[in-house]
Amino acid sequence: MAGRNLFATTNARVVGAFCVAALLQLAGTILIPGYSAPFAVRAMLVLASLLAVASIGQTLVVIMGGIDLSIPFVIGFANVVAAQLYGDGWNFFLVCALVGVLALVIGGLNGLISRSLDIQPLIVTLGIGMIVQGLVLLWTAGFPSGSAPPVVSGFVSIGGSAGPLPVPWLVPSLVVLAAFVVLVLERTPYGRRLYALGSNPGAAPLALIDPVRMWMVTYAASAFFAAVAGVLLLGFTGSAYGDVGQPYLFQTIAAVVVGGAALVGGRGSYLGTIAGVLVLTEINTLLIGLGFQPSAVQAALGLIIVLLVSLYGRERHVSTTI
């Protein structure tokens, strides 16, 4: 039956994406000497973890039937503001708290405007994102200063180690965070309401789901994790850069979709997104390792996204939705 099929394919997509990631790793190991060397794998895990953090919000928002284009702008905002304030001598935890609260407000605004007025979130999040970035640029006059506190640098450093583990604390922390996100989605009222709202917005209010509240909370969470990614990226690059989030605009969407979520809502999982993140990171590393120019890597990435999604991410024909 059609419905049963759908259920089976949702899990199959996640497994499929993990398999693709594993195959790419295998291909890399065969084709490129040192591809599976400890340092290379560590680097890949760190890059993948950063993308995975940035993609949490996109996953939640897409399950709900929305999209968040403000993620790269919020990443840039958090990155620059954290560096600047820390550079001005603020206590770093105070800085983090402030950035987090501001991000929650930005995200809440995204959700409130989109849902309460029933406007395409694509436009709202883009507009809000542009405003945020503009304000940050204005504040720093386009030349952000400041630097990363050692605690963040150490947390994400590719050479770092987490106790006995040969990876920086970022990686095990992400595993814990991922487990938390999966638990929230699968086992909390919020998670179940999120899927229901994405599955049929028309039925949600009758099932006592408050759409505006859900959208505000979810977009706020999305912006919050984008801000976390922004601060982590500060540790990774060492200095502030307003456009540091730009690659994450399309990468978060691509990761979510490669992981089996439907942009119409109601389907997807964070585990799937992690699989998508691994696939994207593998492709990137593999192609650069094979000596392709960044421009060619980009073209290949586009081609592979399309190929992968056409393998298992196809939508239903209109005739089957009647």
Partner 1 sequence: MNPRLSSISRSVGFAVVLLIILLAVNLILSPARFQPGSWGALVGLAAPLIGAAIASTPVILAGRGGIDISVGPLMGFVNAVVIQVLFLKAGISSPLLLVPAALLIGALVGAANGFLATVVRIQPIVATLGTYLILTGITLTILPAPIGPAPAWLKALAGPWSLLPLLLMFIGWGLVRRTPYYDQLMAVGSDDRAAYTAGVDVTRVRLIAYVMAGILGGCAGLMLTALIGSADPNIGPTYTLIAIAAVALGGVSLAGGRGGVAGAAVGAVDIFLLQSVLTTFNVSTFVLQIAYGAILVLAVMLTALQERLAMRAR
Partner 2 sequence: MADRAASDFRGLAIRDLVIATEASPITQLIAPGEIVGLAGLDGHGQELFLKMLAGLAPPLGGSIELAVPGSSHKITGFRRAVASGIAYLPRDRRANGIFPTQSVLDNFAVATLSRDTRLGLISPAARKARYDVYRKKLSIVAPRPDAPITTLSGGNQQKVLLARALALEPSILLLNDPTRGVDVATRHVLYDVFRGLAADGMGLVILSSEIEEILLLCGRVLVFRENEVAAEISGEAMNTDSVITAMFGRSA
The amino acid occupying position 16 is: G
Q: Which of 1, 2, 117, 176 binds partner 1 (CB under 8 A)?
A: 117
Instruction: Note whether 322 binds partner 1 by CB under 8 A.
Output: yes
Q: Residue 291's binding partner, choosing from partner 1, partner 2, none, with beta-carbon cut-off 5 to 8 A by kind?
A: none
Selected binder of partner 2 within 141, 176, 206, 307 (CB under 8 A) = 206
Q: Which of partner 1, partner 2, none binds 176 (CB below 5-8 Å, type-dependent)?
A: none
Distance of alpha carbon 243 from alpha carbon 233, whole angstroms: 11
Longest dimension (CA), the chain: 62
Q: Measured from the CB of residue 82, what is the shortest distance to partner 2 in angstroms?
A: 31
Q: Which candidate, 316, 304, 318, places its Cα nearest to that of 23?
A: 304
Given the complex with partner 1, which of 178 and 253 has the nearer CB atom?
253
Task: Write out the binding residues for partner 2, residues 239-268 only, by CB under 8 A.
Answer: 266-267
Spatial distance between the Cα atoms of 126 and 99, rounded to a whole number of angstroms: 20
Taking the CB of residue 127, how many other CB atoms lie within 10 A of it? 15
Judged by CB under 8 A, the chain residues 244 through 283 that form the site for partner 1 are: 250, 253-254, 257, 262-264
User: Is the CB of residue 86 less than 8 Å from the CB of residue 146?
Assistant: yes
User: What does 129 interact with, of partner 2, partner 1, none (CB < 5 to 8 A by kind)?
Assistant: partner 1
Q: Does 189 bind partner 1 (CB under 8 A)?
A: no
Comparing CA positions, the residue from 223, 203, 225, 205 lying closest to residue 213 is: 205
Mention every residue, 6+ apart, whose C-beta is less than 8 A from residue 208.
none
* 6 near partner 1, judged by CB under 8 A: no
d(CA 48, CA 264): 26
Which residue stretch of 39-47, 81-89, 96-104, 313-321 sits at the interface with partner 1 (rule: CB under 8 A)?
A: 313-321
74 neighbors 230 (Cβ within 8 angstroms): yes
# binding residues, partner 2 (CB under 8 A): 26
Positions that interact with partner 2 (CB under 8 A): 1-4, 6-7, 183, 187-189, 192-193, 195-196, 198-200, 202-203, 205-209, 266-267
